[in-house]
């Protein structure tokens, strides 16, 4: 993703690809080698010593040059056939042509080690970081926290007690209401005998132009990639958006909508109050999902849905009407 950013006559280009002092997105500022990465985590490798590795990424956002991790045989084939050219894996397998392997007894742990090595947490010394870039026309109310390398465009209003974590990018004409948190860590854990082990987050959130985000919302950043709120979309109070979810343009979400990670929501989707969306699915353009519905699988666009699991609304209403008649039907059967 390339974003042209302008403040008056000054223009900069953000590519979200360098892992340096200005961004945590896990593309290295300079290519690493297979051997150097293996040395960091003290692991065996399969491939040439100088085989290039240009970044770390999760399976759903990997590109050529990336290293991806896999620790379950169920997902070996997906990882080995992905765009990633290096695979951190917990078993010796045949190495696909043109790729490299790093053999680890715990890929989850070692992926975290690599994130810590290349993208360590940077403490803020001030409420608004000196590295943040904020347009002069934007209003920032008292008690707002703005982290490192945040970029906020023109004519925005950031209300009190909002927290905007590192590397967040916010466009023009954005309103963020009180107590909202943008850029919190992904809810991503591996269960172990001693408890839950957290996968570290080093991605970002992008809020495009003309977005309004209500009070007490929470938007998680990507693990290694981006969570995106599309242009013109409106979020009511108490909405949660999970990591790496991409929301299209002009979407409308009512209060208490909860969206899991890695969800794709296309343009002009409406989710009414208390709709729940499970991970790794797509909601098609123009879909409307009525209140308190549960979405467990991908939905086609331009259809109104209801229920849990959500289905075409008219079908659900007919089913509900039929269920109400069951006592009467049972009574008549008993009288026969």
Tens digits of residue pLDDT in 197-254: 999 999 999 999 999 999 999 999 999 999 999 999 999 999 999 999 999 999 999 9
Are 154 and 138 spatial neighbours (Cβ–Cβ below 8 Å)? Answer: yes
Element (H, E) at 319: helix 313-324
Distances in Å between the Cα of 282 and the Cα atoms of 80, 208, 243, 297, 299 are 24, 20, 14, 8, 6
Tell me how far apart the alpha carbons of residues 37 and 65 are, in angstroms, rounded to a whole number.
13
270-279 LR contacts (CB < 8 Å, sep 24+): 273/236, 276/308, 279/242
Mention every residue, 6+ apart, whose C-beta is less than 8 A from residue 86: 34, 37, 47, 51, 53, 66, 67, 68, 99, 100, 101, 102
Tell me how far apart the alpha carbons of residues 309 and 295 are, in angstroms, rounded to a whole number.
6
CB neighbour class for 336 (10 Å; exposed up to 12, middle 13-18, buried from 19) = exposed
pLDDT tens for 290-305 read 999 999 999 999 999 9
Tell me the helices (H) and strands (E) count for the chain, helix number first: 5, 36
Please state whether 228 falls in left (phi above 0), alpha (psi between -120 and 50) or beta.
Answer: beta
Tell me how far apart the alpha carbons of residues 229 and 207 are, in angstroms, rounded to a whole number.
5
The stretches in the chain having pLDDT less than 70 are: 1-25
Tell me how far apart the alpha carbons of residues 153 and 298 are, in angstroms, rounded to a whole number.
34
Domain ranges of the chain: 27-118, 133-311
CA contacts within 13 A on the Cβ side of 298: 12
Q: What is the pLDDT of residue 25?
A: 56
The catalytically annotated residue of 159, 177, 240, 243 is 243
Say whether 243 is catalytic.
Answer: yes
* CATH tag, 133-311: 2.160.10.10
Q: Which CATH class is domain 27-118?
A: alpha beta
Are 92 and 105 spatial neighbours (Cβ–Cβ below 8 Å)? Answer: no
Whether the link from the prior residue into 125 is cis, omega within 30° of 0, is: no
């Amino acid at each position: 993703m390339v974003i042209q950013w302008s403040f008056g006559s000054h223009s900069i280009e953000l590519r979200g690809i360098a892992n340096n002092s200005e961004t945590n997105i896990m593309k290295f500022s300079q290519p690493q080698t297979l051997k150097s990465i293996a040395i960091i985590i003290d692991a065996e490798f399969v491939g040439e010593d100088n085989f290039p590795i240009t970044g770390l990424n999760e399976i759903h956002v990997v590109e050529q040059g990336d290293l991806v991790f896999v620790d379950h045989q169920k997902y070996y084939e997906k990882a080995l056939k992905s765009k990633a050219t290096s695979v951190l894996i917990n078993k010796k397998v045949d190495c696909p042509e043109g790729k490299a392997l790093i053999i680890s007894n715990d890929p989850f742990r070692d992926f975290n080690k690599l994130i810590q090595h290349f993208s360590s947490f940077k403490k803020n010394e001030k409420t608004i970081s000196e590295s943040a870039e904020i347009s002069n026309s934007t209003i920032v109310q008292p008690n707002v926290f703005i982290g490192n390398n945040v970029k906020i465009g023109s004519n925005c209003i950031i209300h009190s007690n909002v927290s905007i974590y590192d590397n967040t990018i916010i466009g023009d004409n954005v309103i963020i209401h009180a107590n909202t948190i943008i850029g919190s860590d992904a809810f991503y854990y591996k269960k172990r005998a001693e408890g839950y082990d957290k996968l570290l987050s080093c991605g970002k959130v992008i809020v495009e132009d003309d977005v309004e985000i209500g009070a007490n919302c929470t938007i998680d950043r990507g693990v290694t990639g981006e969570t995106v709120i599309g242009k013109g979309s409106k979020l009511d109070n108490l909405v949660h958006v999970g990591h790496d979810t991409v929301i299209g343009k002009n979407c409308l979400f009512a209060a208490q909508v909860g969206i899991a990670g890695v969800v794709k929501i296309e343009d002009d989707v409406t989710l009414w109050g208390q709709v729940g969306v499970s991970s790794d699915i797509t909601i098609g353009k123009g879909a409307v999902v009525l209140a308190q519905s549960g979405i467990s699988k991908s939905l086609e666009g331009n259809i109104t849905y209801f229920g849990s699991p959500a289905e075409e609304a008219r079908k659900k209403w007919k089913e509900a009407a039929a269920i109400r008649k069951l006592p009467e039907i049972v009574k008549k059967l008993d009288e026969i």
